[in-house]
Amino acid sequence: MNAKNVLHYAADQEAKFVSVRFTDLPGSWHHLTFPIAHLTEDSFEDGFGFDASSLRGWAAINESDMLLVPDASRFWMDPFTDEPTLCLIANVMEPITKEGYGLDPRSVAVRAESYLKFTGIADTVFVGPEAEFFVFDEVSFHNDQQSAGFSVDSEEGHWNTRRRGSDLNPNSGYHIRPKEGYVPVAPMDTLVDLRNTMSSILAEVGINVECHHHEVATAGQCEIDFKFSNLLHTADNLMLFKYVVKNTASVHGKTATFMPKPLYGDNGSGMHVHQSLWKDGVPLFAGDQYAGLSEMAKFYIGGLLKHAPALVAFAAPTTNSYKRLVPGFEAPVNLAYSARNRSAAVRIPMFSPSPKAKRLEFRPPDPSCNPYITFAALLMAGLDGIQNRIDPGEPLDKDIYDLPPEELANVPSLPGSLDEALIALENDHDFLLKGDVFTTSMIERWIKYKREKEITPLRLRPHPLEYSMYYDI
Q: Which residues are catalytically annotated?
A: 51, 130, 132, 215, 223, 272, 342, 361, 363
For the chain, how many helices (H) and strands (E)?
14, 17
Give the type of residue at 192.
V
292 and 354 Cβ atoms separated by less than 8 Å: no
Give the type of residue at 276.
S
CA 100 to each of CA 264, 314, 441: distance values in angstroms, whole numbers, following the listed order? 41, 20, 14
Burial class (CB in 10 A: 0-12, 13-18, 19+), 451: middle
Q: Alpha helices, DSSP H only, in 36-171? A: 43-46, 105-119
Angle at 393 between CA 389 and CA 398, to 5 degrees: 145
Range 449-454 contact pairs with CB under 8 angstroms and sequence separation of 24 or more = 449/25, 449/26, 449/56, 449/57, 450/313, 450/317, 450/418, 450/422, 451/419, 451/422, 453/56, 453/57, 454/318, 454/319, 454/418
- Cα separation of 242 and 257, whole Å? 9
346 and 251 Cβ atoms separated by less than 8 Å: no
Among candidate residues 310, 326, 461, the one with its CA nearest the CA of residue 401: 326
Residue 184 per-residue DSSP state: P
108 and 434 Cβ atoms separated by less than 8 Å: no
- Cα separation of 143 and 193, whole Å? 35
Task: Using DSSP bridges, classify how beta strands 124-136 and 255-257 pair: parallel, antiparallel or unpaired.
Answer: antiparallel
The DSSP result for 251-289, as a single string, is HTT-EEE--S--STTS----EEEEEEEEETTEESSB-SS
- Cα separation of 189 and 214, whole Å? 7
- Cα separation of 113 and 380, whole Å? 10
